[in-house]
Amino acid sequence: MDERVGIERIAAGGDGVGRLADGRAVFVPRTAPGDTVSIALTRTAARFARGRVLEVLEPGPGRVEPACPHYHRDRCGGCQLQHLAADHQRAARRSIVGDAIRRIARMPLDVDPELEPAPSEWQYRAKITLTRGGDGRVGYHPLEGGSVFQLETCHLAAGSLNLLWHRVVLARRHWPRTLERLVLRLDRDGGQHLVFETAAGPHWTTGPAFHREIASAGAPLTVWWRPDGGAARAVAGAESAYPATAFAQVNPGMGDRVRARAIQHLGAVDGRRVWDLYAGVGETSVRLAEAGATVESVEWDRGAVAAAEEAQRIYGRRIERVTGAAEKVVGSLGRPDLVITNPPRTGMGREVVDELVRRGPERIVYVSCDPATLARDLGRLAGSAEGPATYRLASLELFDLFPQTAHVESVAVMERI
């Protein structure tokens, strides 16, 4: 039976939240605060439900027509908030983080944290990852799961990546037969990279022919092949040590602003020992060493560590690269004065949090892309009923790295009490 629901707010993940007649919260994708919608329930539980919009009866003040045809036609799962105007999106992201800090970390916030807008709401992504479905279509998954739809153009991807994708499709006959995923990315110098990830099967021999067919006279292009269980290897194009499979910010310009702000929050680092946890390719470690810090830089990805070796040679003992999961190696590091940590979406392992509390650095700057795990870890650093408070939240800022989505980058500063 259809239900009529008023949408009150946007929850983590991007769903609108309303109330059913019996008082249960209902989560409805692609809705906006202030909407009145007719929905069909898709899941019910004792305390909540999920629904799907049948009709927008009365649009909320922030609702707009999405720019991308994939958004409604294919129910693309890559964006969650294209139906909201930019200022309403930013308000939603601020609210998501503020709610997580109050509810999960149990820290008081009088107002939601401030958010620095992105210079562009579109074409900001320097990397996209596409999946090949069982029927051969290559693109993204729909919001509710199911078969991959064929991507035409991604409005979030940089214009040059979309042009590259169109050339890639025209040369499809040269693709590896066992293709599972395809990564398109730009490096810092504007070079283009294609990473073909394949299932077990025959050796891919047509990579050079593929490269010859799609390479343009513009940006240099490197084609990589990553077979099942193996490392990525360049099969055509520039012979580069560029770590094509290492993590890098998909919005590099805004990522640089986040990094600069995080380092600024550490304060004076000259002569101090700093941990750089989950360091990636080591860009933050380099900036810290340039400022005079002695850095222990921890990263599990060997490809990312290899990419940082040049910086290690330049700065000698000022940067000590530690290869391994932070959760396994943190106990062996020297005592830090300051810490900067930028974990994956899953947050820091409990072992890392416990070691930080035990070592007691003066300040911990936490860069996060997930409000829930950020709030969990901040709450643990701040102490609980099991012990006295150890750290306090000194500041929290947000950066709009992911317009059109419910994701947001946070920089939290924890100071020792």
398 and 273 together in one domain: yes
133 lies in some domain = yes
Choose among 36, 5, 7: nearest CA to 22: 5
SS3 86: helix
Helices (H) and strands (E) in the chain, counts: 11, 19
Q: Are strands 138-139 and 127-132 parallel, antiparallel or unpaired?
A: antiparallel
Give domain status of residue 363, yes or no: yes
36 occurs within a structural domain: yes
List all residues 6 or more positions away from 12 whose beta carbon is below 8 Å from its beta carbon.
Answer: 96, 99, 100, 371, 372, 406
The domain of 261 spans 252-416
Which pLDDT value is given to residue 219?
75
Is the alpha carbon torsion for 170, 176, 180, 186 positive or negative?
negative
Residue 307's pLDDT is 63
Each of the 417 residues of the chain gets a pLDDT tens digit; together they read 689 999 999 999 999 999 999 999 999 999 999 999 999 999 999 999 999 999 999 999 999 999 999 999 999 999 999 999 999 999 999 999 999 999 999 999 999 999 999 999 999 999 999 999 999 999 999 998 889 999 999 999 999 999 999 999 999 999 999 999 999 999 888 889 999 999 999 999 999 999 999 987 677 899 999 999 888 899 998 766 566 666 678 999 999 999 999 999 999 999 999 999 999 888 899 999 999 999 999 998 876 666 656 555 665 568 998 999 999 999 999 999 999 999 999 999 999 999 999 999 999 999 999 999 999 999 999 985 455 668 999 999 999 999 999 999 999 999 999
If asked whether residues 174 and 220 sit together in one domain, one would say: yes
CATH of the domain at 267: 3.40.50.150
pLDDT of the residue at 386 = 52
Instruction: Return the sign of the alpha-carbon dihedral for residues 294, 300, 301, 303.
Output: positive
* Residue 101 in domain: no
Q: How many domains does the chain have?
A: 3
Task: Based on the fold, state whether residues 225 and 291 are members of the same structural domain.
Answer: no
Examine residue 103 and state whether it is found in any structural domain, yes or no.
no
380: in domain: yes
Q: Are residues 403 and 266 in the same domain?
A: yes
Residues 42 and 158 in one domain: no
Residue 397 lies in a domain: yes
Q: How many CB atoms lie within 10 A of CB 8?
A: 16
69, part of any domain: no
Q: Domain of 210: which CATH number?
A: 2.40.50.1070
- Cα(362)–Cα(339) distance, rounded to whole angstroms? 8
Among 63, 98, 114, give the residue marking a domain's end.
63
CATH number of the domain to which 18 belongs: 2.40.50.140
Domain finish residue from 44, 63, 82 = 63
Residues 256 and 231 in one domain: no
Residues 52 and 138 in one domain: no
**Shared-domain flag, residues 199 and 271:** no
Cβ atoms of 199 and 228 closer than 8 Å = yes
Q: How far apart are CA 183 and CA 217, in angstroms?
A: 21
The pLDDT assigned to 309 comes to 63
Residues 14 and 138 in one domain: no
Gap between the Cα atoms of 363 and 342, Å rounded? 14
- Domain boundary (13, 38, 63) is at 63
Q: Are 189 and 288 members of one domain?
A: no
Shared-domain flag, residues 210 and 272:
no
Pair (41, 132) in one structural domain: no
pTM of the full structure:
0.92
